Structure 1
C-alpha cells in the first residue's frame, strides 16, 4: 500500500510541476518530512551525482528505448532512487504502390497476389509502441552499482501490455529478460519504423550474462540464453523440446561516448524430432557479427553492421518472420538442416541544428539455398532490401516529431520481385 501511495504522490507532483512550467515558472518539487528515512521526490537533475550517473549510464541505448526518467524517488542520503518514466508515441502510416502487411515495415511480409490480399494501398495508425518503465538504482558497499529495470509496451495480442525488459544487474552480472548480446542496440540507426533495418540483428531472450570493462574502453560479455527455435517442417519432422541453451559473446571497443566497434558471436544447438527414425536429433547453429557507429565531426554520425551465420533466423530482423532456423533436408527424409543467412546495413545521421537531424539507411538480408532446398523454384523468400530516409525535430527536450519514407523489395527463389512504399509520421512525448 505504501508503494501505491508513493506512486500517487509522484503523479500528483509531476502534474504540479508541469502546470508550473506551463506558467513560465521554475519549480522544484520535493516531498519532505522530518523522518531521517524519508523518501524525497525530485527531478533527476537535482538528484545526487552518483544516482544521476548510474541512472543515465545504465539506460537502454536503442533509439526506440525510453530516456532516463524526469522524476525519481530518492532517499535523503542519495544512495537509492526509483524512477518511473517512458513515452507516448503515435504514428500514422500510409502504404502505396505495394504494402508490407504489418504495422512495422518488413520486406519479408510484402504479399504476392496469392497470399490473400490484392490491395496496393494501406492506411494504419499505431500507438502500441508507447512504453512505460520502472527503474531502481543504487550504490551499495558489497554490490556496487545495482539496477532493477522493467519496461513494456502494448504490442501484445489485442494491444495488451507486453513485457520488453525485466532484469536485475550488479557486479557485472545480469539476470532476466533483455536484448541478446548477439546484437548492438546502441549501433542501430534512428527510424520511426519500430522494427528498423531488415538486415539488423535483433532479439530478446531470458538470460544470465556477465560483462566487464577493461581500461575504460574495452568491454567484453558472455551469456547463457533461453533457446528460441522455429522451423519449417513436414510430416516427417517436428520441432522438439530444446536441450541446450544458446551462448552469445562479444568484445567492444569504445573510443568516445558515441563511437565504438563491436564483434560478437553465437553458438546454438537446435533439437527436433525425426519421426522417421523415431528419435530426437540436433543441428548446430552459429553466427558472427561486426558493428560500429562513430562520429565524423560534430554533425555526422555513421552506422554499420554485418551478420552471417547458419540457423540464426530468430536473431535476424526480417528473416525471423520466416521460421527457418532449421528446415527439412530434401536428401534425407526425417532429417533437418540449417541454412546460411546474411544481413547488413549502412546508414548516416546528419545534425542540421541541435534540434533537427536527418538520417538515411540501406539494409539487406539474404537466405541461401543448400542441399537442393527448396527443390524447385518457389515463392519462398530469398532476399529483401530496405531503404529509409527520415527527418526528426526535437521540438522540446521531451517532445519529438518525425516524418519518414520507406521502400522495400522482396525477391523470392523463383526470382520474382515485389515492392512496397510507406510514409510514416510520428509524434512522441517522453515523461
Structure 2
C-alpha cells in the first residue's frame, strides 16, 4: 500500500501513437493521442505467502471469522496459502478543462472470487478482475467510485496484510463529492446490512462530511456519516437513523511516523473493518424492530526506520460493541469485541522492490464469555512498475 506513487508517465501529443505491449510481443494496444492529456500507468505485482498457525482466516486476515467456543477447540492447526491476488494496476489522466485540472483514475486488482470458473487452487488459482477505483474530479467535484469520504486516509498503516487492523474504516463506494479547501461533503451509496431480514431498504444516500488539515508534521481529519435504515417485510416495518464520527491523525516523531484513529458508530457500523459489528448496521429483533449496536473503535501504529532500507511497523486495533440485548446481538453475528496486532519488517531493496515479513494476531470475545484467537505469519514480495 506504500507504492502507489510509482508510475510511468506518458505525455500524449497529436504527432504520434502510443503502443502498449500486452501479454505477448505480437500483441499491442494502440492509444490514439489526445492533445494536452497526460496518461499515467502504474501498478505492482505482489506475492503473499501465508502460514496459518492455528486457524485459516483466508487470503487476508478476517478477524470476524475467528472461531470461538467449541469451534475454537476443534479447529485444524497449521495451513499454508500462496497467492498473488493483491496485484493491481491503474491508469490516471490529467488535462486542463476551462482553466481547471480534470483528473480521472481507473484501478483494478484481483481480490475477487471466481466461483464459476472451476479453476480453484487445485488447477490455476484464477480470480476475477475487481474494480477498486473509477472516478473523475474537476473544480472540486468528484464523481465515481473511490474511498469513502468518511475514511481517514491520514492514518493508514503500511501492513502487508491486505485487510489491515481492527477498528479502522475501510470502504470504497460510488459517490458524488464536493471539496473546498480542507472540507469535503459527499452523497454515497447507502448499501446497508441489517441482520435477520432480506427486506432491508436504502431510501436515502449516506451523507458524509470530513475536515482535513495539518499543522507542521501533524496531519489530522475529523469525519462523520449519517445513514437511514429501513425494513419492510410486508407484515412489520421500521426505520432508524445511524451515524458515526471518526478522529484520526498522524505525525513524524523523530524519525518515526506515528498515528491512529478513535471513533464511535451506531447504526453505521458497516464502515468499520474487522470490527465487533462485521459489516452490519443493525439487526431485526423478535418484534420486527431494527436494533442498532453502539461501537467504539480505536487503532494506533508506529512505523520506525531501522536502517536506510529497513522499516518496522507495529499496529494495534480494537473494536468494542455495546448492545442492549446481548443475546439477540450475538445471535445476529455481533461480537463483544475484536482486536488485532500487525508487526512487520519491510525491506526496500530498491525504489520498486520490497520484501517483507509480518506477524498477525487476531482475538474475538463474545457476549456470552466465549473467545478465540488466531495467529498468522505472512511473507511478501512486491515489484512495482
- Measured against the shorter chain, the TM-score band is 0.7 to 0.9
Seen in structure 2, the aligned counterparts of structure 1 residues 253 and 346 have a Cα distance that, compared at 3 Å, is: same
| Structure richer in helix, relative to its length | 1
**1:179-328 map, 5 Å:** 179-213=147-181, 219-233=182-196, 237-256=197-216, 259-277=218-236, 279=237, 281-297=238-254, 299-319=255-275, 322-328=278-284
- Determine whether 1:351 maps to 2:351: no
Note if contact 1:228-1:314 (Cα within 8 Å) is conserved in structure 2.
no
Deviation at 1:354, TM superposition (A): 3.2
CA pair 244-143 structure 1, distance change in 2 beyond 3 A: farther
SS in 2 for 1:374: helix
Q: CA deviation at 1:244?
A: 0.4
Q: Relative contact order: is structure 1 or structure 2 higher (C-alpha 8 Å, sep ≥ 6)?
A: 2
Q: 2:118 corresponds to which residue?
A: none
TM-score (normalised: structure 1) = 0.77
Is the Cα contact below 8 Å between 1:220 and 1:251 reproduced in 2?
yes
User: In structure 1, the residue corresponding to 2:327 is in which secondary structure?
Assistant: coil
1:426 equivalenced with 2:385 (yes/no): no
**CA distance, structure 2, for counterparts of residue 103 and residue 400 of structure 1:** 19
1:23-422 pair list within 5 angstroms: 63=1, 66-75=4-13, 79-96=36-53, 98-112=54-68, 113-114=70-71, 118-140=75-97, 142-158=98-114, 159-213=127-181, 219-233=182-196, 237-256=197-216, 259-277=218-236, 279=237, 281-297=238-254, 299-319=255-275, 322-330=278-286, 333-370=287-324, 372-375=325-328, 381-422=335-376
Query: Could you tell me how far apart the structure 2 residues matched to 1:417 and 1:320 are?
Result: 13
Query: 2: CA distance between counterparts of 1:248 and 1:321?
Result: 20
The runs of at least 4 consecutive aligned structure 1 residues that moved more than 6 Å come to 376-379
State the shift of 1:350 in Å.
Answer: 0.8
Residue aligned with 1:108, SS? helix
In the superposition, relative to structure 1, how do residues 137 and 328 fare at CA in structure 2: closer, same or farther (>3 Å)? same
Q: Which runs of 5+ in 1 are unaligned?
A: 1-62, 214-218
Check 1:328–1:246 CA distance in 2 against 1; reply closer, same or farther (3 A cut).
Answer: same
**Cα distance in 1, alignment partners of residues 334 and 281 from structure 2:** 15
Q: Do 1:308 and 1:343's aligned partners in 2 also have CA atoms closer than 8 Å?
A: yes
User: Shift of the alpha carbon at 1:334?
Assistant: 1.3
Output the CA distance in 2 between the equivalents of 1:114 and 1:387. 22
TM-score by length of 2: 0.86
Rounded Cα–Cα distance in structure 1 between residues aligned with 2:106 and 2:73: 38
Unmatched 5+ stretches in structure 2: 15-33, 115-126
Query: 1:139 offset after TM fit, Å?
Result: 2.7
Cα distance between partner residues in 1 of 2:227 and 2:86: 30
Q: What residue in structure 2 maps to residue 57 of structure 1?
A: none
Match of 1:55 in 2: none
Shift of 1:319: 3.1
Aligned positions, number? 352
User: How many Å separate the matches in 2 of 1:320 and 1:154?
Assistant: 27
Residues 1:375 and 1:229: Cα distance change in structure 2 (over 3 Å):
closer
Q: CA deviation at 1:320?
A: 8.3
